[in-house]
A and B are shown apart, each in its own frame.
Chain A
């Protein structure tokens, strides 16, 4: 096996992006459904995690249902300050993801905090540290969250 998923790896990834059974021998149940061997399924998943094709294998949590909060935010960062501002956000633990995007609002990040009140405090901390105004885009409604990708 290499760091590139083969056809069977892709089949496993596509079949396993949800619905992993909650039974005593879940890998055996998956293996049966796909016509594979239990230990081969376990070995392939372990390999895919090890080489980083899978970030992890397990439950995906909904932070908000666990009392936490997340909020998409954006900054319009002057080009000459872009790297410095990115470094400031990299050091703030409340910033979970940060992406450069092509737009006047050129830096898009997600704040994740343990409580809803923490979001406003974190947004203000970003403003204090950068001197820039944080555009806040809290989700008002979620239509679907598939997060499935075709391997």
Chain B
């Protein structure tokens, strides 16, 4: 189900954050000229459809001390990538896990898993844990730590 215009107006109004008041959904509803019950029903639907991934606290990794991040990348057989991707993605310390196309010859990797840590050792340990899980199915791997954030802006939708 695609979001309708009112849904988009609602999401545009709350994407920067919910009002931090006792009745946040009522406050949003009043701002948009809607009913609080309608706002809540729409958010339930948007959550169920996946347009809203989740509602809650969005931490700043750096401010929590998670200043190290590593993009771990793996070359596994195409026939194995979905099974292994599901297993790697289920690790609680993996924050993102995707299958992506290779870019040969420079880039043989088809499985990407992001890890974060307070120290360089911590992300090395996480990479090692993923390597143990993938085992002999791994044909090549690398980890690209981020050495600098060059730009970071949130994703924004229009109203």
Contact = CB atoms under 8 A, between A and B. Distances in A.
A35 interface: no
B40 A23 contact: yes
Interface string A137-151: 111111111111101
The listed residue with most B CB atoms (<10 A of its CB), out of A67, A98, A99, is A99
Interface in A40-59: 42, 45-46, 48-49, 51-59
Contacts of B25: 22, 24, 26
A100 B146 contact: yes
Which secondary structure dominates chain A's binding surface? mixed
B59 A59 contact: no
A97 B55 CA distance: 22
A104 B112 CA distance: 17
B28 to A, nearest CB: 10
B11 interface: yes
Interface of A: 3, 5, 12-13, 16-20, 22-28, 38-39, 42, 45-46, 48-49, 51-63, 65-68, 70, 72, 76, 86, 89-90, 95-105, 107-109, 112, 114, 135-149, 151
10 contacts: A13-B64, A17-B57, A17-B59, A23-B40, A24-B36, A60-B58, A65-B51, A97-B153, A101-B71, A143-B82
